[in-house]
A and B are shown apart, each in its own frame.
Chain A
Amino acid sequence: MNKKILEIKDLHVHYLTDGYTVKAVNGVNLSLARGESLGLVGETGAGKTTTALGILGLVPNPPGKVIKGEIIYNNENLLRKSDAQMRKIRGREISMIFQDPMTALNPVLTVGAQIAEVIRLHEKISAGDALIRACEMMRLVGIDDVRHDEYPHQFSGGMKQRIVIAIALACNPSLLLADEPTTALDVTIQEQVLDLIEKLRRERGASLILISHDLGIVAEVCEKVAIIYAGEIVEYGTAGHIFDRRAHPYTRGLFDSIPDFSRKVHRLRPIEGMMSDPTKLPEGCFFAERCPYAFEPCRKIVPVFEPEPGHLVKCVLVEKGKAPQ
């Protein structure tokens, strides 16, 4: 039996700005087994990054606020932890690879010092030994360690992202959150960085949540996939469920929007309209106003259905067996 490393239950995160409440995350349920990799897929503003920040206890407060929910990591609710306790977890147990390696690194510290910093923060170790460990990490991510006393601007984008990965992995975390780790990189460099994340994750047995808008990357890296829309998981399952037997109209629309690389189609079939304003979300299914199949029951609360074991879909059509094929 695979033990759960992380379970998110009914997480709600709101941002309160003058007079408005932006409902960023609205009842996210997710679970992740030890050693598993999960792809969290959604468009801009769907709540992907906010969910990840919620796990790390880094939702900026104010204006952000976790309204309710539980985040169970190794049988403990992270939302009940104090700031001091969270600081011990961040970087050691759970660490994050950020989207933009240009802004994630401190421009006035050498890269060696930045990797050593996280090691010294979490372990009783001398500065010299920490630097030796930092150099080991640099070799691990494929950078010559003679460059440890260089500054971030002296490295290319792909190299900087390798440094960020080295920092994230320096203390052997059990859970790695990667927020669009290759979006800022060219496709040939992206390939190298993804291979590196995947190789290190397997060697060290860490679990991974990969946040991405790119279904191609998720297909390559992830065993499980969650599709998030307007702060809700609308579909969840194994890669097989999502890539071969997807059922939610939004997931289907997302796939139809991608130009097919392997064959030429005359016209794309985009999802009409825009995502609902997160300050005034509709009743019932959030996707209903863009959904070509929406009908009356979609305006009421939509439960989650399970057409196959482990494949969860939040759509009335699935219950009725009318899901578009």
Chain B
Amino acid sequence: MSDPNATPSIELEVRNLKKHFKTPRGMLHAVDGVSFKIEKGKTLGVVGESGCGKSTLGRAIIHLHERTEGRIFFRGRDVSDVDEQQLKDLRENMQMIFQDPFSSLNPRMSVSQIIAEPLLIYNKCRSRKELTAKIGNLMDTVGLARRLSNSYPHELDGGRRQRIGVARALALNPEFIVCDEPVSALDVSVQAQILNLMQDLQEEFNLTYMFITHDMSVVRHVSNEIMVMYLGSAVEFADSEEMFLRRLHPYTQALLAAVPIPQIGHKKGRSLLRGEIISPIDLGEGCRFAGRCIYAKENCFDVTPTFDEVTLGHFVACHYVREINNLP
């Protein structure tokens, strides 16, 4: 029983999560000390460019990768180290929607078999009839015509395939879903349909989302809070509206300035970025963004900036955030 006077309940908390991969050329720091909380029923948008560690972070949280360091709390319980049975219990409440609706569905299983699989693994149905009914309900929920239940994924278009992925993720009534670029493989008109569907499901079932994307327009649309990542670290975290009103980190500023806007005469100013992302292998001290930052000074290359609360609820990892933004 939850206390109505309590502070908003935290669905997921991550503390100093690290995931390093051993490679022949050295240690690859995919996720390097990320901390955040997500409130129940809300969406955290995680944005960044390819290779920033956003997908690895999502996968580490639901134990698709075993983390290197750090702690994960789900509804207040430490779920960092789980055995096989505990993991099975955990997955009932934590699901994932994958980016690519082509490779994340087994091509040799029909739509109904794909949606039935989690229900069968968790013994959720007592009879064949109940299972069929449940599959039908799930298909209705995600807007898939029931006549497609015997179709195979290759017979369907990307939008419908992604709906199967959503139905599979919802089958066990999870509370928390990691959505890893769920719409980036889709055309804009279909993308809008899936985003609306996910929004409806969140409202109906009070779902909590961690929404991973590289698309800045999508992240604003879906998120309550946004975390911007660069080379394995969070560089900025704030409420979604706050982030779009006052972005403080130079990387976030450059990232948002680079987004082409579908309006004419909206010519952007000069580019705020130079060069490209550096290799994430054997990273030393210093700000990872310094090499591309137009404001970088000498100590940026030597001292790693801390992730500080600059204004209420707005965290930034930058030595010169106050100078750059004329903050007191």
Chain A positions near chain B (C-beta within 8 angstroms): 43-44, 156, 158-159, 186-192, 194-195, 213-220, 239-240, 243-244, 253-262, 264-265, 267-271, 274
Of B159, B195, B262, B277, the contact of A243 (CB 8 Å cutoff):
B262
Of A240, A261, A262, A265, the contact of B264 (CB 8 Å cutoff):
A240
Of A216, A239, A265, the contact of B221 (CB 8 Å cutoff):
A265
B238 interface hit (Cβ, 8 Å)? no
Are B258 and A215 interface neighbours, CB within 8 A? no
Are B266 and A261 interface neighbours, CB within 8 A? no
Of B220, B261, B271, the contact of A264 (CB 8 Å cutoff):
B220
Q: Which residues of chain A are within 8 angstroms of B195 by Cβ–Cβ distance?
A: 259, 268
Chain B positions near chain A (C-beta within 8 angstroms): 49-50, 157-159, 187-193, 195-196, 199, 214, 216-218, 220-221, 240-241, 244, 254-255, 258-264, 266-268, 271, 273, 276-277
Are B258 and A219 interface neighbours, CB within 8 A? no
Are B193 and A270 interface neighbours, CB within 8 A? yes
Are A187 and B188 interface neighbours, CB within 8 A? no
Bound CA–CA A269/B262 (angstroms): 16
Are B196 and A216 interface neighbours, CB within 8 A? no
Q: Which residues of chain A are within 8 angstroms of B266 by Cβ–Cβ distance?
A: 219-220
Are A187 and B49 interface neighbours, CB within 8 A? yes
Q: Which residues of chain A are within 8 angstroms of B276 by Cβ–Cβ distance?
A: 156, 158-159, 189
Bound CA–CA A275/B213 (angstroms): 25
Chain B's nearest CB lies how many Å from the CB of A128? 31
Bound CA–CA A213/B49 (angstroms): 20
Q: A43-B189, A187-B258, A271-B189 are in contact. List 18 more A-B contacts (CB 8 A).
A: A44-B187, A187-B255, A188-B49, A189-B276, A191-B273, A217-B260, A219-B260, A219-B261, A219-B263, A219-B266, A243-B263, A258-B188, A258-B192, A259-B218, A259-B220, A268-B195, A268-B196, A270-B191
Are A261 and B191 interface neighbours, CB within 8 A? no
Q: Which residues of chain B are within 8 angstroms of A268 by Cβ–Cβ distance?
A: 192, 195-196, 221
Q: Which one of A187, A215, A258 has the greatest number of beta carbons of chain B within 10 Å?
A: A187
Bound CA–CA A43/B260 (angstroms): 18
Are B259 and A216 interface neighbours, CB within 8 A? yes
Minimal Cβ-Cβ distance residue in B for A244: B264
Are B49 and A260 interface neighbours, CB within 8 A? no
Q: Which residues of chain A are within 8 angstroms of B217 by Cβ–Cβ distance?
A: 258-261
Minimal Cβ-Cβ distance residue in A for B194: A270
Minimal Cβ-Cβ distance residue in B for A184: B50
Of A218, A259, A274, the contact of B159 (CB 8 Å cutoff):
A274
Q: Which residues of chain B are within 8 angstroms of A219 by Cβ–Cβ distance?
A: 260-264, 266
Bound CA–CA A139/B221 (angstroms): 40
Bound CA–CA A254/B259 (angstroms): 18
Are A270 and B189 interface neighbours, CB within 8 A? yes
Chain A's nearest CB lies how many Å from the CB of B23? 16
Are B264 and A270 interface neighbours, CB within 8 A? no
Are B261 and A216 interface neighbours, CB within 8 A? yes
Q: Which residues of chain A are within 8 angstroms of B258 by Cβ–Cβ distance?
A: 187-188, 190-191
Are B261 and A213 interface neighbours, CB within 8 A? no
Are A192 and B271 interface neighbours, CB within 8 A? yes
Bound CA–CA A269/B218 (angstroms): 14
- For this complex, 23 residue pairs linking A to B, each with C-beta atoms less than 8 Å apart, are A188-B258, A189-B276, A190-B258, A192-B271, A192-B273, A213-B188, A216-B260, A218-B262, A219-B264, A243-B262, A243-B263, A254-B188, A255-B262, A258-B188, A258-B217, A260-B217, A261-B216, A264-B240, A267-B199, A268-B196, A270-B192, A274-B157, A274-B190
